[in-house]
Amino acid sequence: MLNNVLGIDFQNTFARDLEGLYKKGNSCKCPSAEVLLLNKSLSLELGIDLNRLQSKNALDIFSGNIKPENSITLAQAYSGHQFGQFNPNLGDGRALLIGEAINQKGKLIDIQLKGAGQTPYSRRGDGKSALGPVLREYLISESMHVLGIPTTRALAAIKTGDQVERDGLLPGGIMTRIASSHIRIGTFEYARFHKDNQLIKKLTDYSIARHFPDTANVENPYLAFFAAVCNQQALLIANWMSVGFIHGVMNTDNMTISGETIDFGPCAFMDSYDPSTVFSSIDVNKRYAYANQPAILTWNLTRLAETLIPLIHEDRNESIKLLTEVLQLIKPVYTNYWLSIMRSKIGLSKEDQNDIEIISNFLEIMEEEKADFTLCFRSLSKALIGDGQTIRALFNNSRRFDGWMMIWQERISQEGIAEEKIAASMNKVNPIYIPRNHKVEEALHEAVFKNNMLPFNKLHSLLQYPFEEIDGFESFKEPAPKSDVPYKTFCGT
Ligand code: AMP
Ligand code: MG
């Protein structure tokens, strides 16, 4: 039966199939809520027409005031390793699944409210979100999406009209989050912690059916499922690395089985290239630094592997052996993805065994010179269309850079493709506009403290076309002024 407000035929598969992994809950009410952002194109993908999206009733759903008919609203249970330490009792403390929709491609999609009040897993938290982090997640997740990086999406951002207590009182917000599911490595860890092999099996069967149906038909579906998750996550991290993205809290409860980026806490894009960059103020040991992300990928997937031991083989040792074989493939699989994306960033479509050295040397010079990651890649293509100065100006030690350029240009000439064509294809993978931290902060400050959404909307619109240079937006492609560095964000979002 169609839901009257959104026109969605809500499914309740998680509630139906995964008892033990959720508790039912309700949102709090926000009578003075107002809509700040609605995502029209995403709405159409979900089959919600624009009249419905913009209706007062939709606002009431997105602000928690009315519960969608035909839908079982619930908070999901999960555990997780946070900065390496196991915490059995996490769960959706400030998120509520309000329904599952079938999108235009026939795929099941979660619709979740984030910040709509306490749930059975809130522990001592208020279950709410401040408006700033809601807008931040909206902006960055939608920017990731147009950069071609798998991510949860943002359907709506609401200003609740209430205040939340953080370090002082702040305006509250609710984000409507869309995900191909919210199943995390931590969801599996929860089932394992409760020593419930039946629950692990139910969860894995559900995840296979929802995300990797092809693996159901092979000899060992559970092992194939694990390999598929490893593959998706390796691809995800390679994508992050290729745009200088630092997630900031790669805890196992923040890593999805689907391979979508989730939970944009202290995440940010790097300006000047420094592999040891962290943005989270609480990550004092730099566990989640940019350069550590591929190693953490394997660490996290090892935690997932541990949960699957009972399913893979009746002999525990054989199970561990099989899972270990897959784990050992993560690094080479990741490196292949990374290499392939990085090749395209420097204009190479053919493969040569020296490519990795050319890419690594470029990064090394960038690091030595503290050059801007995004600008370096973007400016490189200009050298192929008669402007070698723009890229050269980014490097003080021009002698080392010139040496590298000669080797790169020699390699480019082996491609046998017109240089203008190579330059054009480089510009399709090297964004000119990313959510620069200082621009994001500026836009959020205006929106949250001055009720002025104009800078946010301007930045958001620009980020919808990250590969097209637009006149009049020069300041958006520049890194932060030196006084804004070092940049830190806070986890308590
Ligand atoms: P995060 O750091 O956002 O990944 O959240 C870690 C855990 O804390 C998750 O279980 C969240 O649901 C929970 N949490 C975060 N903020 C709140 C809040 N304001 N109220 C209740 N639980 C929260
Ligand atoms: Mg989280």
According to DSSP, residue 280 is labeled B
- In contact, 351 and 329? CB cutoff 8 Å: no
Beta carbon of 386 within 6 Å of any ligand 1 atom: no
Rounded to an integer, the average pLDDT of 59-64 is 96
Span from the CA of 243 to the centroid of ligand 1 (angstroms): 27
The domain locations on the chain are: 13-179, 185-344, 346-427, 437-476
- Residues 133, 148: Cα–Cα separation, whole Å: 22
Residue nearest to atom 19 of ligand 1 (CA): 127
- In contact, 130 and 137? CB cutoff 8 Å: no
Beta carbon of 302 within 6 Å of any ligand 1 atom: no
User: Whose atoms come closest to the Cα of 117: which ligand?
Assistant: 1
Pocket test of ligand 1: the residue of 94, 184, 281 to mutate, having most ligand atoms within 8 Å of its CB, is 94
- Residues 341, 362: Cα–Cα separation, whole Å: 15
Please say if the pLDDT value at position 489 is more than 70: no
- Residues 116, 15: Cα–Cα separation, whole Å: 19
Helix spans in 381-418 (H)? 389-392, 398-413
Known catalytic membership, residue 253: yes
Structure tokens, 337: 């993805």
Residue nearest to atom 10 of ligand 1 (CA): 90
- What DSSP line would sit under 7-38, residue for residue? ----B-HHHHH-TTSEEE--PPP-TT-EEEEE
Residue 131 identity (one-letter amino acid): L
Name the more confident of 266 and 178: 178
Q: What is the pLDDT of residues 286-333, one digit of tens each?
A: 999 999 999 999 999 999 999 999 999 999 999 999 999 999 999 999
- What DSSP line would sit under 186-241, residue for residue? HHHHHHHHTT-HHHHHHHHHHHHHHH-GGGGGSSSHHHHHHHHHHHHHHHHHHHHH
Peptide bond connecting 479 to the previous residue in cis, omega within 30 degrees of 0: no
- In contact, 109 and 46? CB cutoff 8 Å: yes
Beta carbon of 289 within 6 Å of any ligand 1 atom: no
User: Whose atoms come closest to the Cα of 91: which ligand?
Assistant: 1
Beta carbon of 94 within 6 Å of any ligand 1 atom: yes
Span from the CA of 239 to the centroid of ligand 2 (angstroms): 20
Structure tokens, 306: 């541990």
Beta carbon of 90 within 6 Å of any ligand 1 atom: yes
Which atom belonging to ligand 1 lies closest to the Cα atom of 127? Answer: 20
- In contact, 33 and 156? CB cutoff 8 Å: no
* Of 370, 376, 373, 374, residue with least CA distance to 405: 376
Beta-carbon neighbour count of residue 122 at 10 Å?
A: 17
Span from the CA of 127 to the centroid of ligand 2 (angstroms): 13
Rounded to an integer, the average pLDDT of 440-458 is 97
* Of 151, 120, 121, residue with least CA distance to 138: 151
Span from the CA of 183 to the centroid of ligand 1 (angstroms): 16
Residues with Cβ within 8 Å of 482's Cβ and at least 6 positions away in sequence, in order, are none
- Residues 43, 54: Cα–Cα separation, whole Å: 10
- In contact, 62 and 174? CB cutoff 8 Å: yes
Which atom belonging to ligand 1 lies closest to the Cα atom of 254? Answer: 4
Residue nearest to atom 23 of ligand 1 (CA): 93
Q: Across all residues in the chain, what is the average pLDDT? A: 96
Residue nearest to atom 14 of ligand 1 (CA): 93
Please say if the pLDDT value at position 484 is more than 90: no
Beta carbon of 25 within 6 Å of any ligand 1 atom: no
Beta carbon of 128 within 6 Å of any ligand 1 atom: yes
Residue nearest to atom 6 of ligand 1 (CA): 90
Q: What is the pLDDT of residues 98-140, one digit of tens each?
A: 999 999 999 999 999 999 999 999 999 999 999 999 999 999 9
Q: Are strands 129-130 and 95-102 parallel, antiparallel or unpaired?
A: unpaired
Residue 458 identity (one-letter amino acid): K
Beta carbon of 182 within 6 Å of any ligand 1 atom: no
Exposed e or buried b for every residue in 64-74, given b needs 16+ CB within 10 A?
A: bbebbeebbbb
Exposed e or buried b for every residue in 32-55, given b needs 16+ CB within 10 A?
A: ebebbbbbeebbebbbbeeebbee
Which atom belonging to ligand 1 lies closest to the Cα atom of 126? Answer: 20
Rounded to an integer, the average pLDDT of 218-231 is 98
Lowest mean pLDDT among 171-185, 253-267, 472-486: 472-486
Which atom belonging to ligand 1 lies closest to the Cα atom of 122? Answer: 21
Residue 323, CB half-sphere, CA atoms under 13 Å: how many? 24
Which atom belonging to ligand 1 lies closest to the Cα atom of 265? Answer: 3
Structure tokens, 66: 């009315």
Exposed e or buried b for every residue in 356-370, given b needs 16+ CB within 10 A?
A: eebbeebeebbeebe
Residue 1's pLDDT is 63
Beta-carbon neighbour count of residue 146 at 10 Å?
A: 15
Beta carbon of 265 within 6 Å of any ligand 1 atom: yes
CA distances from 485 to 267, 272, 380, 479, 482 (A): 15, 10, 25, 10, 6
Catalytic residue among 110, 253, 263, 271: 253
Residues with Cβ within 8 Å of 153's Cβ and at least 6 positions away in sequence, in order, are 39, 42, 141, 142, 145, 177, 178, 179
Please say if the pLDDT value at position 174 is more than 90: yes
pLDDT over 70 percentage in the chain:
97
Residue 490's pLDDT is 47
Which atom belonging to ligand 1 lies closest to the Cα atom of 78? Answer: 10
Q: What is the pLDDT of residues 397-436, one digit of tens each?
A: 889 999 999 999 999 999 999 999 999 999 999 999 999 9
Categorize the per-residue pLDDT at 492 as very low, low, confident or very high, splitting at 50, 70 and 90. Answer: very low
Span from the CA of 95 to the centroid of ligand 1 (angstroms): 8
Which atom belonging to ligand 1 lies closest to the Cα atom of 164? Answer: 19
User: Whose atoms come closest to the Cα of 125: which ligand?
Assistant: 1
Rounded to an integer, the average pLDDT of 85-91 is 98
Residue 488's pLDDT is 66
Which residues are registered as beta bridge partners of 80? 87
Beta carbon of 442 within 6 Å of any ligand 1 atom: no
Beta carbon of 125 within 6 Å of any ligand 1 atom: yes
- What DSSP line would sit under 145-196, residue for residue? HHTT--B-EEEEEEEEEEEEEESEEEEEEEEEEEES---BHHHHHHHHHTT-
Span from the CA of 263 to the centroid of ligand 1 (angstroms): 10
Span from the CA of 254 to the centroid of ligand 2 (angstroms): 5
Q: What is the pLDDT of residues 31-44, one digit of tens each?
A: 999 999 999 999 99
